[in-house]
Amino acid sequence: MLRKTSIWLTLALGVTLAGMTHAQTPGSVPADAAPKDDFLWLEDIHGIRPMEWVKRQNALTADRFATGGSFTQDRERILEVLDSDEHIPYVNRMGQYLYNFWRDKAHPRGVWRRVTLAEYRKTSPAWEVLLDIDALNQAEGKRWVFKGAQCLKPAYERCLLSLSPDGGDAVAVREFDLVRKQFVGDGFVLPVAKTEVDWIDQDTIYVGTDFGPGSMTESSYPRIVKVWKRGTPLTEATIVYDGKPTDLAVSAHHDATPGFERDFVSVAKDFFHSELFQRRDGKLLKVNVPDDATAAAHREWLLVETRSPWTVGDTTYPSGALLATRFDDFMAGKRDFTTLFAPDAHTSLASYSWTRHHLILDVLDDVKSRLEVLTPQPGAWQREPMAGAPELSTASVVDTDPDNSDEYWLGVTGFLTPSSLQYGVLGSTPVQTLKREPAFFDASKFTVSQHFVASKDGTRVPYFQIAPKTLKLDGSNRTLLYGYGGFEVSLQPTYSGSIGRAWLERGGVYVIANIRGGGEYGPAWHQAALKANRLRAYEDFAAVAQDLIHRGVTSPKHLGAEGGSNGGLLMGNMLTLYPQLFSAIACEVPLLDMKRYSHLSAGASWMAEYGNPDTADWNFIRHFSPYQNVHKDGRYPPVLFYTTTSDDRVGPVQARKMAAKMQAMDLPDVWFYENLEGGHGAGADNKQSAYMHALAYGFLWDQLQ
């Protein structure tokens, strides 16, 4: 649920919160609401009976929404977008080569490949294929999904590849020789598990994995990290850190920067609290920053991002600030910081990226990108603006080469602006566009606007609207409202050929709500919707829906909503708390049973976001737990629950149980579909993704007539 996401009706409709039924009013669930669960049997993910139920549901849903010319056309047009050879092959530099993972029609599972910069500049680069995943699957009789590679600096001749058997988070790790372009016969190999690895040197790695019973945290991630020597059995690996079962995850990392070689151990307590240790001479020395701050070393520097105000001496640094100090001085006890970024009411720090001599800041200003270049110097660092994105677009750093140069790569995108990839070298090579995606739909017919609305408590909430230029504000427009609102994730302007073809070109309006719980305005925006304040996110989403109705963009009859993962929980609450605002909801890979979520898949890792339902926290969690809040006498809009069997992060069982419970209540228009592969995403390959996107958009369009 990490890489990388309420209500009022308009006065015109003559309905207020006071006029809602008891079942619809937020906070109406009795304190002891935890009745017997008749659908626990669906938690047996691969059980015969549950899978038979899944197959029946899939058949019904496919027969209703995945047949006919409209669905076929949508699927093929979306697949054409996903399989296009004209997509930008985004790259990351390792040594003299640029590396890319690529999927298309001929390679549905993808190829891992590389090219030189000179060759990449060409219209049709001659790529050197390193590993063909489809060929590997054919040779091994598997269905591997590529999940990334970690390669050993500075030669980049050996890599540790991560391969998922079904698209989930659990991976097998295998050592790969980039010179011979083959797996190393006697190399490092780890079976499928939720594993973290990192190179120390040619013959030594850090490894956190499933070492046996008790070696994983309650959140299903590594609890123990070890040093493993080549040629020795894993059982002889040396323990570096042994965490607690209640920790989120433990990992170790080696910084191989010449002249600044360091080793670190990170102990994540939860998603927002962690401890960082420098491993030196066999000892662990704490990098003593607040547990809710993040710290990262680069060459001589230590950068600290604050999540809450931090008082050091006579200075208090605000939440959301970026601070710099010299690493060795900090470890020696000095606390002399330079403030590199401090937020205000409109800005937050989205990310930062080092080059060899500079630091690039990606700042969000009312959810729009602004780039700055900082150069270290005594006192206040030199600060210069950097060319960024067009209005209402996003510019972000894709890659840099911090060990060797001031090279940088920028991704620029917008709702109506096809993505482009820009390249430059700070101080020498002006930025230039190297690659540009084609337009997959006619953007000239549409316009993008940003709006703000007051939420229930008066908080100013932004949202983006993409609509036809000929839009009539008569309430008749099919409108799809998307949101996430969690884990400090920001929703920024992004080009989508799939949305353009499957929704906008049909005449629909597409809206993205930047609700609390996200990171659009920094940590405070996220923390405003944590735990007992969770309903604030749902009130924000509802306020956006109400504003769309009030402005005449749409009406409840023509308004739909979509969200996945934490956004699926958002959809579940729109369904159960505010059903009168929507006529269709697509609820994808969702959390829904918040009484059981911490015992399902990786659910225990999210208690810092939602709370612990096995404690008194249930007194507030129960108010945003859709599975407990659905009622047989409720009047709910049509809903499509989509999930995947192989999702080992959220898991498929919550969507299963919610659909089954609603169907058992004889509630109409409750649809369910479960893809077998794809993990927490929309599919293991482009064909599966196109099917799921077409299914969701077709369902929504059909219901919003």
Per-residue pLDDT tens digits for 667-687: 999 999 999 888 888 688 999
Q: What percent of the chain has pLDDT over 70?
A: 95
> In angstroms, how far is the first alpha carbon of the chain from the final one?
33
535: amino acid identity, one letter = L
Positions annotated as catalytic residues are 565, 680
pLDDT (tens digit, 9 = 90+) per residue, 582-591? Answer: 999 999 999 9
How big is the CA angle at 537 (ends 448 and 694), to the nearest 5 degrees? 55
pLDDT of 19 strictly over 70: no
Which SS3 state, helix, strand or coil, does residue 243 take?
A: coil
Nearest CA among 693, 671, 534, 625 for reference residue 77 = 693
Please tell me the predicted confidence (pLDDT) of residue 387: 75
Question: Alpha-carbon distance 419 to 214, whole Å?
Answer: 46
pLDDT of 563 strictly over 50: yes
How high is the mean pLDDT of the chain?
Answer: 93
pLDDT (tens digit, 9 = 90+) per residue, 319-353? Answer: 999 999 999 999 999 999 999 999 999 999 999 99
Q: Are 646 and 676 in contact (CB under 8 A)?
A: yes
pLDDT of 3 strictly over 60: no
Please tell me the predicted confidence (pLDDT) of residue 513: 98
- Dump the DSSP string for 271-303: TTEEEEEEEETTEEEE--S-TTSEEEEETTEEE
pLDDT of 49 strictly over 90: yes
pLDDT (tens digit, 9 = 90+) per residue, 437-470? Answer: 999 999 999 999 999 999 999 999 999 999 999 9
Return the higher-pLDDT residue of 387 and 41: 41
Please tell me the predicted confidence (pLDDT) of residue 499: 97
Please tell me the predicted confidence (pLDDT) of residue 393: 86
Give the tokens for residue 473: 């504000």
Segment 418-444 mean pLDDT: 95
Nearest CA among 606, 419, 559, 458 for reference residue 2 = 606
pLDDT of 24 strictly over 50: no
pLDDT (tens digit, 9 = 90+) per residue, 598-651? Answer: 999 999 999 999 999 999 999 999 999 999 999 999 999 999 999 999 999 999
pLDDT of 9 strictly over 60: no
Please tell me the predicted confidence (pLDDT) of residue 682: 67
Least confident of 80-84, 179-183, 322-326, 678-682: 678-682
User: How sure is the predictor about 656, in pLDDT bands with cuts at 50, 70 and 90?
Assistant: very high
User: How sure is the predictor about 8, in pLDDT bands with cuts at 50, 70 and 90?
Assistant: very low
| 50-79+443-703, CATH topology level | Rossmann fold (3.40.50)
Beta-carbon contacts of residue 138 (< 8 Å; ≥ 6 apart)? none
Segment 83-105 mean pLDDT: 96
Segment 213-228 mean pLDDT: 97
Percent of the chain as helix, strand, coil, to the nearest 5:
25, 35, 45
Please tell me the predicted confidence (pLDDT) of residue 678: 83
Q: Output the pTM of the full model.
A: 0.91
Segment 133-147 mean pLDDT: 97
Give the tokens for residue 446: 């549409």
Beta-carbon contacts of residue 3 (< 8 Å; ≥ 6 apart)? none
Return the higher-pLDDT residue of 13 and 73: 73
Nearest CA among 498, 495, 464 for reference residue 481 = 464
Please tell me the predicted confidence (pLDDT) of residue 378: 83
Please tell me the predicted confidence (pLDDT) of residue 480: 98
Question: Alpha-carbon distance 48 to 216, whole Å?
Answer: 28
Please tell me the predicted confidence (pLDDT) of residue 68: 86
CA 306, 311, 312, 316 torsion-angle sign: positive
Please tell me the predicted confidence (pLDDT) of residue 395: 94
Q: Is 278 exposed, middle or buried (0-12, 13-18, 19+ CB in 10 A)?
A: middle
pLDDT of 397 strictly over 80: yes
Give, in order, the Cα–Cα distances in Å from 518 to each of 53, 268, 287, 308, 400: 35, 20, 27, 16, 26
Please tell me the predicted confidence (pLDDT) of residue 35: 66
Please tell me the predicted confidence (pLDDT) of residue 679: 85
Question: Alpha-carbon distance 613 to 31, whole Å?
Answer: 12
Please tell me the predicted confidence (pLDDT) of residue 388: 66
pLDDT (tens digit, 9 = 90+) per residue, 246-282? Answer: 999 999 999 999 999 999 999 999 999 999 999 999 8
- Helix H, strand E, coil C: the string for 489-516 is CCCCCCCCHHHHHHHHCCCCEEEEECCE
Segment 230-244 mean pLDDT: 97
Which SS3 state, helix, strand or coil, does residue 464 take?
A: strand
